[in-house]
Amino acid sequence: MLLQVDNVSVAYGAVEALKGVSLSVFGAEIVAVLGANGAGKTTLLKAISGLVPVKSGAILYEGRKLHELPLHLIARMGVVHIPEGRRVFATLTVEENLNLGGYGCPKEEVQKAKEWVFQLFPILRERRRQLAGTLSGGEQQMLAIGRGLMRSPKLMLLDEPSLGLASLLVDQVFATIVQINKDGVPILIVEQNARKALSIADQAHILEVGRVVLSGPARDLAADPRVREAYLGGATHERRRRAKESRATG
């Protein structure tokens, strides 16, 4: 087992954001965590990467207790967190952003990782001397992921990679996430775009108000009526579509 989140609770003051959450990542798989805004998805990733303290429970990575380690040691162990909102360095070039991602690594490893990023995102090679702040939203998301790849991650934590992107760019980003996983990187992804996340994931978990309410193979959750109704449109979407068609035909 690569990652085990065992009965973890996290609180912001008196507000409990996670309430006894448990999940696992085995080997080179994609695990999706789905849920509405405020469900605790981002807090879960922050707890794993050390950005917020764990109130109770344990987070084990390759058998080591992550929740007892400082943030910089967690990063050195290969746990790479790609935060929501891209957060690239707008006044630096694309290549400078990538170089910062590989800061402290041997020069040969940095160059090798950079070539990997450019193969995954050819547009970044073309834009390598362009300021990151002048990139489109989709290109900035590619850069944020690429910057994380510069450390050759052993586990990638992805927070809402499709946020604010047009559908075509969403498809491109998710296709690249699949390729990164095929290249051997396990991925834990949190997403509101449940349909896309379930289409690429091996396992999935549904968070509601800080608790895991459903877990299982992504294919099974995609077919679950409760998930379809709440997160994939389901019968409600179909009723709305039919009502709209009925009004249109008069």
SS3 of residue 57 by DSSP: strand
Residue 237 is predicted with a pLDDT of 43
Residue 25 is predicted with a pLDDT of 97
SS3 of residue 65 by DSSP: strand
In order of start, what are the domains of the chain with their CATH numbers?
1-78+154-164+186-250 (3.40.50.300)
- In Å, the largest CA–CA distance within the chain is 69
How far apart CA 74 and CA 76 sit, in angstroms, is 5
Residue 206 is predicted with a pLDDT of 96
> Token digits for 86?
């891209």
Mean pLDDT in each 10-residue stretch from start to end of the chain (250 residues)?
Answer: 97 96 95 94 97 97 94 93 89 96 90 96 96 93 95 94 88 94 96 94 97 97 92 56 44
Residue 113 is predicted with a pLDDT of 95
Measured CA to CA in angstroms, residue 79 lies from 62, 71, 86, 108, 150 at distances of: 11, 10, 17, 21, 12
Measured CA to CA in angstroms, residue 117 lies from 69, 97, 212 at distances of: 29, 12, 34
Residue 234 is predicted with a pLDDT of 52
